[in-house]
Amino acid sequence: MFKGVFKIDKKIIESLDKAGYRLTQPRKAILEVMKENKGQHLTAEEVLLAARDKAPNIGIATVYRCLESLTSMDILYKTTFDEGKYRYELSDEEIHRHHHVICPACGKISEVEEDLLCSLEQHLEDQGYEVVDHHLKVYAYCPECIPK
Amino acid sequence: MFKGVFKIDKKIIESLDKAGYRLTQPRKAILEVMKENKGQHLTAEEVLLAARDKAPNIGIATVYRCLESLTSMDILYKTTFDEGKYRYELSDEEIHRHHHVICPACGKISEVEEDLLCSLEQHLEDQGYEVVDHHLKVYAYCPECIPK
DNA sequence: ACTTCATATGATAATGATTATCATATGGTA
DNA sequence: TACCATATGATAATCATTATCATATGAAGT
Ligand SMILES: [Mn+2]
Ligand SMILES: [Mn+2]
Ligand SMILES: [Zn+2]
Ligand SMILES: [Zn+2]
């Protein structure tokens, strides 16, 4: 098993191990970057720049590959705010993915931790679906931007 | 005002006129294509191919421009199913945008017309937000794909 | 119908994000 | 410490979308 690992959650280390991934320098750097930026939504380019402080030779291809595999094991969330590129953030601990509220005026992104989709999910289950995940973006003027 | 226009909803024609857009052959072709494919989600490329039957010389740049302006006046919805490209469909008549249910097994996309986000929207309004729109994708095994 | 001209178009180049390739490096195991 | 499958970094390739620009075309007015 991996040794000499600090800064990174044991649970994540175990997931990597279980999936047969090595804990390489680039992966360690990226995981640290994502942890240090909890609550933010970073592009691959932003991750690359931040990760270079920890692993100076890391390349963009590695960043993409790593973000992709971490996403596939639910360690990261991959989202888009319709800018033509993806953004990544550390997954929630809980089962339910949080929602995003985007202000059309100032562009600020807020998070909604509450699920509040029960009626929708119940509706689907009544029809024989089995819900596994969801992505909800709400466009809403934030309190500071409400047009008077 | 425009004359000799069949096949396209009067409401849409009026929106175009109000916004100062001309009713050109390419725009007519694209609107017809979108209407003929109601309920489907088309890529720019797919729209191009279908529109060529009606306007043989239409180019991809025009398709992108047109889809963009129609989206900006809410005649079309622009969505993505995380394939690295956008898809377009004719807007709903009602105020509320429908939701998408994507089956992780077969990839089928179903639509949910019911809103069912009342509690979520109420929650936001209680905090001073003013909701204007939302995009909801639910990932759910469809009845045919429920793993036994 | 004919003229006008601002808007729209089509061909094509440019951009930007992501993915593929491949020779080299490295992590975990024995 | 040696081994070798996995991972990496440099770089080219791909693919969707946007920008450019010379030409065409709608709507309005005659
Ligand atoms: Mn978030
Ligand atoms: Mn739809
Ligand atoms: Zn705001
Ligand atoms: Zn299915």
Here the CATH number for the domain that contains residue A135 is 3.30.1490
pLDDT above 90: residue B21: yes
Integer angstrom CA distances of residue A103 from A72, A139, B60, B132: 29, 6, 32, 9
pLDDT above 50: residue B142: yes
Which residue is listed with tokens 């209407």?
B35
Q: What is the pLDDT of residue B88?
A: 98
The answer to whether the annotation marks B135 as part of a ligand binding site is no
Residues B13, B66 within the same domain: yes
Whether residues A135 and B132 touch (CB distance < 8 A) is answered with no
Residues B16, B72 within the same domain: yes
Integer angstrom CA distances of residue B53 from B6, B39, B57: 17, 20, 9
What residues pair up with B134 in beta bridges, in sequence order? A138
Residues 6+ apart with CB under 8 A from A51: A26, A29, A30, A33, A58, A63
Residues B62, B133 within the same domain: no
Average pLDDT over residues B95-105: 92
Chain A residues 73-92 with a CB less than 8 Å from chain B = 78, 80, 82
Question: Other C-beta atoms within 10 Å of B47: how many?
Answer: 24
Is A58 a domain residue? yes
Across all residues in chain B, what is the average pLDDT? 92
Residue A38 and residue B33: Cα distance in Å, rounded? 44
Residue B86 and residue A84: Cα distance in Å, rounded? 9
Burial class (CB in 10 A: 0-12, 13-18, 19+), A51: buried
- Long-range CB contacts (within 8 A, 24+) of A51-58: A51/A26, A54/A25, A54/A28, A54/A29, A55/A25, A55/A26, A55/A28, A55/A29, A58/A25, A58/A26, A58/A29, A58/A30
B106 contact A CB<8A: no
- Ligand 1 centre to CA of A99 (Å) is 7
Residues A39, A108 within the same domain: no
Shortest Cα distance, chain A CAs vs residue B93, angstroms = 19
Q: What is the pLDDT of residues A63-92, one digit of tens each?
A: 999 999 999 999 999 999 999 999 999 998
* R_g of chain B, CA atoms, integer Å: 18
Q: What is the pLDDT of residues A111-138, one digit of tens each?
A: 999 998 988 999 999 999 999 999 999 9
The number of CA neighbours under 13 Å toward the Cβ of B133 is: 12
Residues of A in contact with B146 (CB under 8 A): 128, 130
What residues pair up with B138 in beta bridges, in sequence order? A134, B101
pTM here is: 0.91
| Binding residues for strand C (Cβ < 7 Å) | A 1-2, 22-25, 43-45, 60-61, 64, 68, 84-86; B 20-22, 24-27, 55, 57-62, 65-66, 84
Is A148 a domain residue? no
Integer angstrom CA distances of residue B5 from A67, B20, B32, B37: 50, 17, 11, 19
Residues A54, A30 within the same domain: yes
Residues B16, B76 within the same domain: yes
DSSP A42: B
Residues of A in contact with B114 (CB under 8 A): 120, 123
Relative to the alpha carbon of A128, which ligand is closest?
Answer: 4
- The total of structural domains in chain B comes to 2
Q: Which domain holds residue A44?
A: 9-90
Q: Give CA torsion, residues B136, B139, B145, B146, to 10 deg.
A: -110
Q: Which residue in A98, A110, A120, A142 has the most chain B C-beta atoms within 10 A of its own C-beta, making it the best mutation to test that interface?
A: A120
Q: What is the pLDDT of residue A8?
A: 80
Is B70 a domain residue? yes
